[in-house]
Chains A and B, each alone.
Chain A
Amino acid sequence: MIKLRKNKKGDKILSIYWFLIIFIVSGAVIYMAASFYGAPYDVRMTESRALGDQIANCVTNGGFLNDSVMGAEFQKNFMRYCHLNFSVENSYGWTNKSEYYVGLGIYDYDNGTFNLLGKKEAGISEGNPNLKSTWQISGGGNEQAPSGFLAGIVSSVSNLVSGKRKVDTIVIHTTEGSTASGAIETIANRDLSVHYMIDRNGDIYSSSRPPAQFASAFVPENQPASHAGCGIGSEALTYCSALPASDGCTDKSPVNSNGILDPKCQNLSNPPQSESCCIPGYNANSIGIELVNLGHLCTGLSGGFCKYSVSLGGYKWENFSNSPQQMDSLVNLVADIALRYKIPVDRDHIIGHYQIATRKTDPGPNFPWDKFIAAVKDRENTISVSQQDSQNKNLPQGQLRSFYAIDKSGKQYIVQVLAIVGKTEKNA
């Protein structure tokens, strides 16, 4: 009897022990599964696309703009028409600040010019506008749309496509003309090209935002543009060496073995009218950015063109301080490119066109190089930190997308939709 009692007690203890072990192991398995599979999904981009699709469906049907879209009532009650209601987020405790931003722009297609020549647009936006600025500065989104109220967004990855070429220089040009449209036409007609053009209002044009009839004026970043003046590679060497010595380059090879511009070409008393004194290969390894700017304001014309002179003192130049939005876009764009290609932000790598083609003067003496380089460095730091933040701290995610539409009369439009989503979790 005594023996039996002892065994019974031992069995009880053993049962408790086994329950304890099962409890510990089960708890550990649950914890492991939760920690491994329970990490939150980042649904911001998905949610922004769903939002964008919702708006697109609300605006058009079967390719046709809905009748009500251009009316004042639609613009006034956009949220209701599109069945959007951001107040549902209150259920997650997001009461202080909205975590959504949507924008809608409708533009005349105007024979494919994307309103480059005249902006006739209908713009609606709802939600928290702070999300848009935070999203932009963190390098968010793809530029792919016509200019307008949603634009001014610096290209992040749109123009960077597969087959990335080596880029170590950014060349700043000025159009020496009054309008972007005129400059684009001129570039295309001369079989030249550029990667970006920045208008005075800060709008950025590129191959992702081309004017249809002059699309050849822009090439994507992964292709060399014909902007630096010397052709590409061997073509440039052939071109330069074929020039007479009287052009200024006595050795007919303006570049020394280190690839540096021959000093003889840098201090020419009579800059050649040809493109002889330039560094071949700049097209191949550079990104060209045109600023819409008159350049030198002519005091006299010769054959319809400004008289060129070695002395620049006789000319006045359009001041860049008159176009702060343009400079701001330039700073954003250059910082973005420099970060992506790891280009040092200094005057050896961010250069003016005049530095590689002696007959060129752009961007001219009024260009604030020191201030500009400092601003680019500053912006580069901001973007870099913000990009890390966007991955680590749940900064807004979204996309700017566009589609083509017509109305019942056949009039053509480009519809642009921006949808940005902020935090996706409570206390995230």
Chain B
Amino acid sequence: MLNKKGQVAETTTWIFATLIIIILVLASVFVASILGSFGNKRVASYGSFDLFAKKSLAAFLATPENSGTIYSKINSQGALDNFNGNLAKSIFNGLYSGFYSKGIYLGVYDPSSFITLEKNSYFGTRPSLTVKTEFGQVLNVDGFEDSLNLSKGRVLHIVLAGGYS
């Protein structure tokens, strides 16, 4: 008699335990479905590499200027001049300002100098691809940058900041 009562109690416990498990599982499935529905908006990212900007830079540097190319001119002068500066402005501002909203820069700088924010009359100040927040964190800004070593340790730097919209 006592055993029978114990069996009934144990069976009842299992039945309730099963029901609770099923209820928990159903609730979890429901929550997962709701959370999963946000996933429909996920968009695959292409990354920050911009082949078109890179091609423009290559063609720009290969463009003839005087007896050589723009690359040889910039390499020897260490700075943009009126011809290649305006051409660069026309190309990079004209073609990419719509995609990169936080600044477009092309210029030459000397990494050994202590001046970190270079400026030239064609593109203004070199935008940074990192920003410091009010909490002291350093965040990366979306964008594209590339550089080319020149003579005397100088560097030609292109920065397209603002993310590919």
Please report A residues at the B interface, Cβ cutoff 8 Å.
17, 21, 24-25, 28, 31-33, 35-43, 45-46, 49-50, 52-53, 56-57, 60, 62-64, 112, 114, 142-145, 155, 157-159, 161-162, 207-210, 212, 215, 220, 391, 401-406, 410, 412, 414, 417
A129 to chain B minimum Cβ distance, whole angstroms, is 23
Contact of B55 among A32, A50, A157, A403 (CB under 8 A): A403
Whether A212 touches B95, Cβ cut-off 8 Å, given contacts A31-B29, A403-B56, A404-B56, is: no
CA distance A214 to B32 in the complex (A): 57
Can you give 8 A-B contacts (C-beta < 8 A)? Answer: A39-B36, A42-B41, A45-B43, A52-B52, A208-B97, A210-B90, A402-B52, A406-B62
Per-residue CB contact flags for chain B residues 109-148 toward chain A (1 = under 8 Å, else 0) read: 0000000000000000000000000000000000000000
Contact of B59 among A39, A60, A210 (CB under 8 A): A60
Say if the beta carbon of B61 comes within 8 Å of chain A.
yes
CA distance A276 to B84 in the complex (A): 43
- B residues 55-110 near A (Cβ < 8 Å) are 55-64, 86-87, 89-91, 93-99, 101-102
Given the complex, which residues of A lie within 8 Å of B36, measured CB to CB?
Answer: 32, 35-39
CB pair A114 B94 closer than 8 Å:
yes
CB pair B42 A39 closer than 8 Å:
yes
Given the complex, which residues of A lie within 8 Å of B46, measured CB to CB?
Answer: 45-46, 49-50
Given the complex, which residues of A lie within 8 Å of B64, measured CB to CB?
Answer: 410
CB pair B41 A391 closer than 8 Å:
yes
CB pair B63 A39 closer than 8 Å:
no
CA distance A410 to B67 in the complex (A): 12
CB pair B22 A24 closer than 8 Å:
yes
CA distance A417 to B55 in the complex (A): 13
A161-B162, A208-B94, A404-B55 given. 4 additional CB < 8 A pairs? Answer: A60-B55, A144-B96, A410-B64, A417-B52
CB pair B61 A63 closer than 8 Å:
yes
Given the complex, which residues of A lie within 8 Å of B44, measured CB to CB?
Answer: 41-43, 45-46
Whether A28 touches B55, Cβ cut-off 8 Å, given contacts A39-B42, A159-B98, is: no
CA distance A212 to B88 in the complex (A): 10
Say if the beta carbon of B151 comes within 8 Å of chain A.
no
Given the complex, which residues of A lie within 8 Å of B41, measured CB to CB?
Answer: 42, 391
The CB with the most chain A CB atoms within 10 A, among B35, B91, B93, B95, is that of: B95
Name A112's closest neighbour in chain B (CB-CB): B90
CA distance A25 to B59 in the complex (A): 60
Given the complex, which residues of A lie within 8 Å of B149, measured CB to CB?
Answer: none
Name A36's closest neighbour in chain B (CB-CB): B36
Say if the beta carbon of B18 comes within 8 Å of chain A.
yes
CA distance A46 to B46 in the complex (A): 5
A52 to chain B minimum Cβ distance, whole angstroms, is 8
CB pair B59 A405 closer than 8 Å:
yes
A317 to chain B minimum Cβ distance, whole angstroms, is 34
Given the complex, which residues of B lie within 8 Å of A144, measured CB to CB?
Answer: 95-99
